[in-house]
Structure 1
Amino acid sequence: MLNRFLFSKIDNSQLIIFRVFFGILVSLECYGAILTGWVRRTLIEPKFTFNFIGFDWLQPLPGLGMYYYFFAMGTLGVLISLGYKYRFAIISFTVMWTGVYLMQKTSYNNHYYLLVLISLIMCFLPAHRSYSIDAKRNPLLQSNSMLTYVRWAIIFQLIIVYTYASIAKLYGDWLDFGIVRVLMLNKASYPIIGGLLQEPFLHKIIGISGILFDLLIVPALLWKPTRKIAFFASIFFHLFNSIVFQIGIFPYLALAFTVFFFEPETIRKIFFKKKKPYLLQKLEVPKYKNILFILGGLYFLVQLALPVRHHFIKDDVLWTEEGHRLSWRMMLRSRSGSLKFKVVNKETGEKTTIKNEDYLTKKQLRRIGGYPDFIWQFAQRLKKEYAAKGEQIEVYAVNSRVSINSKPYRPFIDPKVDLAHVKWNYFWHNEWIYPSPGSEKH
């Protein structure tokens, strides 16, 4: 039964057209990042970036280097779409995109992480076997079929993304639509729809539909009687997100995924009318079956575990942010914070209050007060800077206060802890973060 489910041969039109869409979208993402100024603001203008902790060695290239870097990634996207040097192109893009993802988190979107995962999966898929330059140059590559596990690898990943996104919304501030109202406040200036987005009835529609869409969209696409309705619902939902939240290619990537839910023959007739169909439904168990089960099992086990890890970390993830990333907690909260850094010279006892704006860009300033890992990393940055001048210092975060979902500001970081010398706890709670309001008294 499992063999037939995963290793039946089917028409590969779904994978081929997805490769084309995927390559076009990632090239637009990379070229667009240059043209819109995202690369300049995020990777060139900052004096330093807030990388994922543990990846300090990943730093932006100097000068105009990051422009060339993104241009190269965009060009790789074109090669992926054309199916030219596909393995080289997709592996290179995966490595380069993962590097960008890890070297900065000031501009963070879940679709950046999803691109890492989908690119990684695509490295192992035979997406260049048809309608590609590679197949034209090497007829031995040409094939009109693929094994069904290829399709299910993408679908399983989507089930994880959407299911966890839905479950994460089942908390107080989403269920009473308060966070939806907060998210819409800064959309009031949008032409035509800005005023409508402030209406309470629309907040309820957005809140309820957000939960239901994420929970039901994959099953609805899989079930043939509801597939077309789900497809048109996806178009509306993702175009709405694109217009209102302006989150890059993610809505269009999400729509591209829908090709895996329609019958291969339907996709072939729409996009590849001249393509020879494959209709045999032959069972073919590959020699690498055991390796596939081991690696695929480990991969999806990690994907299932990462989004629930915050349940094993002390306190509320909405407050501490510990376990928030890599967990599909999308558009769940709004954070703002303020603090000052006090530097104390260990030898002289001299105290200095740091002017954050002397070090950080406007976007970094909006992040620094509300995220504990940013606060810790900045303290480490100050420690290194003063050490280069021969000074040993202590760093304290004073007057640290945070507001979650526009609620009253609360004390956030213990001002008595020397952040320059405390270690970052990767897997458990960092005790210098004050308890969340209501969990216990400070």
Structure 2
Amino acid sequence: MNELLFKRVDNSPLVVFRVLFGLLIALEAWGAILTGWVRRTLIEPQFTFNFIGFDFLQPLPGNGMYFYFGLMGLFGIFVMLGFKYRFSIIAYTLLWTSVYLMQKTSYNNHYYLLILLLIFMCIVPAHRYFSVDAKRSPGLKSISMPNWVVLFLIAQIWIVYTYASLAKFYPDWMDGTFPELLMKGKAHYWLIGDLLQEPWIHMSIAYFGILFDLLVVPLLLWKRTRVVIFWISVFFHLFNSIVFQIGIFPYMSLAFTVFFFSKEYINRTFLKFKPFYNNAETKIPKLGPYFKVFLVLWFAIQLLLPVRHHFIQSNVFWTEEGHRMSWRMMLRSKSGSASFRIKNLNTGKTEYVKLDNYLTTKQKRNLLKPDGIYQFTQKLKKEYADKDIPIEIYARVKVSLNGRKPELFIDPQLDLATIEWNYFTHNDWILPQPESISWGR
């Protein structure tokens, strides 16, 4: 085990990945400003749907979040250059994680993946070559790294892809229902819009998605299929980038491949000026035993989190309980409607809540999810409690899953002022899944 983890190998893949990673995270931060994501998600809303328990994380006032993301982009460039590397990568990690926990309106599994990658980059020696730090401090320079760096990244990516594939084994994906819904929103695309509406395209997306996610890592590991699956990956990720416009993550996925090709090839292709390390020496660090414990805990969490919905008494497609941080990417479409009314217990009068006074159009989608309903209810409770007015809160929420008939999500006669939030178990104030959803947990 010590030899497997701590054998020294050439660090060319890590050095190349650091440069690509730093550039991409800088583009992610600055792109969020330029595309209006920061404005729409963090500046315009009056109320933020943060992760429950992290209410203390709120957007900076005024235009503060523009400076926040501008600074993140600068740290990304520092990571790329290997300048003040440890400080820069840790700073970016803290800033990005705070944004992730600060809002759920624009939740994306890729944002969670970026947190994991940032933590990985915090602990690896990615600045030991081709960096400002190594140039300024020659004693820092090294052409090798421990083998666990490669194993860690490959294992993490394998988990992500495998769970993403397994999550697609449900009827609405396998019969093309959801891929068809997904493509309907792309009909206006120039040149390919009409093609994306073809039934054979929907079925191709369904089964190619399953097979690619399931097999890409094993086929990249096998030398005989590595080049072929790499070019298939290029097509797959460029397709995702063009059709779904999901930012840097298709390109980040392509950057991962430097860890699958031979270190000699990466060194020869990208870092010809760098000496190649080939001593295969094993150096066990003083904290080696503790690091092994860290690895066991890390990957235990990574393996267990995506299956936690199986231990919750509900259908994750209906209730969303156990959906986040589970690699359940682009699996279902939800639409519906929500209206809230408040009964003033002092006067007995009932009034409907004007949602536009509280939420943006995009934020209203959170009211189709249980944690969003709970958080908005808590917002209303606090507002009236500050006025010393006792109230009851009722809502009529209807949800449509993958184009089905909208069904009641919660009991309209339930006083939502009395509900509590169970983070790890089923919230029994959610109505059972409708008969039209007869599959899954």
Match of 2:416 among 381, 403, 419: 419
Q: Which residue of 2 aligns with 1:432?
A: 429
Q: Which residue of 2 aligns with 1:389?
A: 387
Q: 2: CA distance between counterparts of 1:417 and 1:223? A: 57
Stretch deviating more after TM superposition (384-393 or 47-56): 384-393
Stretch deviating more after TM superposition (83-92 or 335-344): 335-344
Show the 5 A alignment for 1:331-342.
331-342=330-341
Q: Which residue of 2 aligns with 1:408?
A: 405
| 1:351 matches 2:346 | no
Q: Which residue of 2 aligns with 1:234?
A: 233
Give 1:420 shift: 2.3
Please report the RMSD computed on the Cα atoms of aligned residues, expressed in angstroms: 1.1
Q: Which residue of 1 aligns with 2:276?
A: 277
Stretch deviating more after TM superposition (409-418 or 229-238): 409-418
Q: Which residue of 2 aligns with 1:325?
A: 324
Q: Which residue of 2 aligns with 1:375?
A: 373
Is the 2:8–2:283 Cα contact (8 Å) retained in structure 1? Answer: yes
Show the 5 A alignment for 1:136-215.
136-215=135-214
Give 1:395 shift: 1.2
Stretch deviating more after TM superposition (2-11 or 72-81): 2-11
Counterpart amino acid of 2:321? E
Is the 1:180–1:206 Cα contact (8 Å) retained in structure 2? Answer: yes
Counterpart amino acid of 2:326? S
1:151-200: per-residue Cα shift (whole Å, max 9, x none)? Answer: 11111110110000000000010111100001111000011000000000
Give 1:364 shift: 1.0
Give 1:342 shift: 1.0
Q: Which residue of 2 aligns with 1:72?
A: 71
Counterpart amino acid of 1:52? F
Look up the SS of the partner of 1:274 in the other structure: coil
Q: 2: CA distance between counterparts of 1:34 and 1:339? A: 30
| 1:102 matches 2:101 | yes
Q: 2: CA distance between counterparts of 1:393 and 1:113? A: 37
Give 1:7 shift: 1.6
Is the 2:10–2:278 Cα contact (8 Å) retained in structure 1? Answer: yes
Q: 1: CA distance between counterparts of 2:413 and 2:407? A: 17
Counterpart amino acid of 1:297? V
> What fraction of aligned residue pairs are identical, expressed as a percent?
59
Q: 1: CA distance between counterparts of 2:367 and 2:77? A: 40
Is the 2:419–2:429 Cα contact (8 Å) retained in structure 1? Answer: no
Q: Which residue of 2 aligns with 1:216?
A: 215
1:32-82: per-residue Cα shift (whole Å, max 9, x none)? Answer: 111111100100000011111111111000001100000010000000000
Q: 2: CA distance between counterparts of 1:421 and 1:55? A: 21
Residue segments in structure 2 that go unaligned for 5+ positions in a row: none
Give 1:286 shift: 2.1
Give 1:348 shift: 2.3
Is the 1:22–1:253 Cα contact (8 Å) retained in structure 2? Answer: yes
Is the 1:98–1:116 Cα contact (8 Å) retained in structure 2? Answer: yes
Counterpart amino acid of 2:313? K
Q: Which residue of 2 aligns with 1:287?
A: 286
Look up the SS of the partner of 1:340 in the other structure: strand
Counterpart amino acid of 1:171? Y
Q: 2: CA distance between counterparts of 1:154 and 1:230? A: 18
Q: Which residue of 2 aligns with 1:10?
A: 9
Q: 2: CA distance between counterparts of 1:211 and 1:370? A: 28
Q: Which residue of 2 aligns with 1:83?
A: 82
Give 1:283 shift: 2.0
Give 1:308 shift: 0.3
Is the 1:337–1:368 Cα contact (8 Å) retained in structure 2? Answer: no
Q: 2: CA distance between counterparts of 1:212 and 1:137? A: 47
Give 1:423 shift: 1.1
Give 1:350 shift: 1.8
Stretch deviating more after TM superposition (345-354 or 101-110): 345-354
Give 1:280 shift: 1.2
Give 1:119 shift: 0.2
Q: 2: CA distance between counterparts of 1:12 and 1:59? A: 39
Look up the SS of the partner of 1:344 in the other structure: strand
Residue segments in structure 1 that go unaligned for 5+ positions in a row: none
| 1:28 matches 2:27 | yes
Q: Which residue of 2 aligns with 1:360?
A: 359
Counterpart amino acid of 2:417? A
Counterpart amino acid of 1:389? K
Is the 2:105–2:366 Cα contact (8 Å) retained in structure 1? Answer: no
Counterpart amino acid of 2:159? I
Q: 1: CA distance between counterparts of 2:188 and 2:208? A: 24
Is the 1:11–1:278 Cα contact (8 Å) retained in structure 2? Answer: yes
Look up the SS of the partner of 1:20 in the other structure: helix
Q: 2: CA distance between counterparts of 1:101 and 1:430? A: 24
Q: 1: CA distance between counterparts of 2:165 and 2:199? A: 21
Q: Which residue of 1 aligns with 2:306?
A: 307
Q: Which residue of 2 aligns with 1:249?
A: 248
Q: Which residue of 1 aligns with 2:125?
A: 126
Q: 2: CA distance between counterparts of 1:271 and 1:352? A: 66
Q: Report the TM-score when normalising by structure 2.
A: 0.97
Q: 2: CA distance between counterparts of 1:62 and 1:393? A: 30
Q: 1: CA distance between counterparts of 2:116 and 2:99? A: 14
Is the 1:369–1:402 Cα contact (8 Å) retained in structure 2? Answer: no
Look up the SS of the partner of 1:247 in the other structure: coil
Q: 2: CA distance between counterparts of 1:229 and 1:258? A: 12
Counterpart amino acid of 2:196? L
1:268-305: per-residue Cα shift (whole Å, max 9, x none)? Answer: 11111100110111222222211111111111111111
| 1:54 matches 2:50 | no
Q: 2: CA distance between counterparts of 1:428 and 1:349? A: 35
Look up the SS of the partner of 2:123 in the other structure: coil
